[in-house]
Amino acid sequence: MEREQTLLRQAQDRLANIAKIPSLKKGQSIKKMLKEKGISRRDFMKWAGAMTAMLSLPASFTPLTAKAAEVADRLPVIWLHLAECTGCSESLLRSDGPGIASLIFDYISLEYHETIMAAAGYQAEENLESAIERYKGRYVLMVEGGVPTGLEGQYLTIGAHGNTGLANAKLASENAAAIFAIGTCSSFGGIQAAHPNPTAAKPLSEVTNKPVINVPGCPPSEKNIVGNVIHFLLFGTLPQLDAFNRPKWAYGLRIHDLCERRGHFDAGEFVQRFGDEGAKNGYCLYKVGCKGPYTFNNCSKLRFNSHTSWPIQAGHGCIGCSEPNFWDTMGPFEEPLASKLYNAPLFKGADRTADNIGITLLGAAAIGMAAHAVLSNFRKDKE
């Protein structure tokens, strides 16, 4: 309780100091923007409560989470695109009915984002250089895409001056207040770094000596992206991270732990091939390649497409896209890993048992039922 009160005071003081900084969005406010979008204060506070829970914070932080969103326009953001498909930006920005998380990101002062900014050519490069200089030590850097390092980065050149993505990433990282690698390509190299990796693509963390928070996924949920911004606004520090520098509040549990098909796994009920009776009955997808037992993410809670569904609900197994080197280690995507070793810290070889555990549990249940039947018959005989 005392620790909670200390954290509350720290967050209150930090937000009060941020609120003193002049707004970067002149004539706008979060309240005005939400009202224009038809979102009530009640809905906004419900969102703040859900975001607070997602960040694994006590409910008492809900008003502060709302306050953090309200002062988000004081936070300059620089978003770089390197070797990627823009899918992470699409996940955040493309929606038929934008959620509050997406709207919050619209409200943030996005100083540079190649996909959505109007500037081009020399003007665009000037915007980037100006933002880095003007907000030195204050801006949040978000990088989407792996970093080609072969030929000194010449595999990826950007803008009128032909700067390399490698040079831009290093320059922008140098004076950032916080750095987020958005998506699996930036976090771990992605498909660009898959064997044989002809461009020598690397994750962002390997080209800068600054701390990098990885937000993997192909793509990650927009809530995982915005949630990290909210956490930074609240505390100004790194969240608790796992062995791969992923926030534990988002990547602390396996897909398998909260999967709606988990009961079928435990009962030994598996889809044997797509379209069979098991598939129609919603059985576990492990035998047709689901990598949920080895993948850490919160997809089953957040879902996609306006939170209506996610791959496993739709009938296809998880492909492990938020794990390091998943293009090389998780394939083929529609076959189980079986006895392959997966070298996750502390869980080396854990996947060996995943294919058998359902049958084992089912067998144990059958033994228990048989024992119960024997005992019942024995009692009847005695009577």
Alpha carbon of residue 295 to chain centroid? 12
Binding residues for [4Fe-4S] cluster: 85, 88, 185, 218, 256, 259, 284, 290
Please tell me the CATH superfamily of domain 255-363, with its number: Cytochrome-c3 hydrogenase, C-terminal domain (4.10.480.10)
DSSP SS3 for 203: coil
Over residues 298-356, the pLDDT tens digits come to: 999 888 877 789 999 999 999 999 999 999 999 889 988 864 544 444 444 334 444 44
CB atoms inside a 10 Å sphere around CB 238: 15
Alpha carbon of residue 206 to chain centroid? 19
DSSP 253-275: SBGGGG-TTHHHHHTT-B--STT
Please tell me the CATH superfamily of domain 73-251, with its number: NADH:ubiquinone oxidoreductase-like, 20kDa subunit (3.40.50.700)
H/E stretch holding 186 reads: helix 184-188
Distance CA 278, CA 198 (A): 41
Distance CA 211, CA 214 (A): 10
Binding residues for [3Fe-4S] cluster: 299, 318, 321
Where does CATH 3.40.50.700 sit in the chain? 73-251
DSSP SS3 for 56: coil
Q: How many residues does the chain have?
A: 383
Give bridge partners of residue 146 from the DSSP assignment: 83
Where does CATH 4.10.480.10 sit in the chain? 255-363
Q: Among 342, 258, 237, 338, which residue's Cα sits nearest to residue 300?
A: 258
pLDDT string in tens for the chain (383-residue length)? 788 899 899 999 999 999 999 888 777 888 888 888 888 999 999 999 999 999 999 999 999 999 999 999 888 999 999 999 999 998 877 655 557 777 777 788 888 888 888 788 888 889 899 999 999 999 999 999 999 999 999 999 988 888 999 999 999 999 999 999 999 999 999 999 999 999 999 999 999 999 999 999 999 988 899 899 999 999 999 899 999 999 999 999 999 999 999 999 999 999 999 999 999 999 999 999 999 999 999 999 888 877 789 999 999 999 999 999 999 999 889 988 864 544 444 444 334 444 444 444 444 444 444 444 444 444 444 44
Distance CA 47, CA 336 (A): 37
Q: Name the pTM for this structure.
A: 0.85
Binding residues: 85, 88, 185, 218, 256, 259, 284, 290, 299, 318, 321
Distance CA 379, CA 383 (A): 6
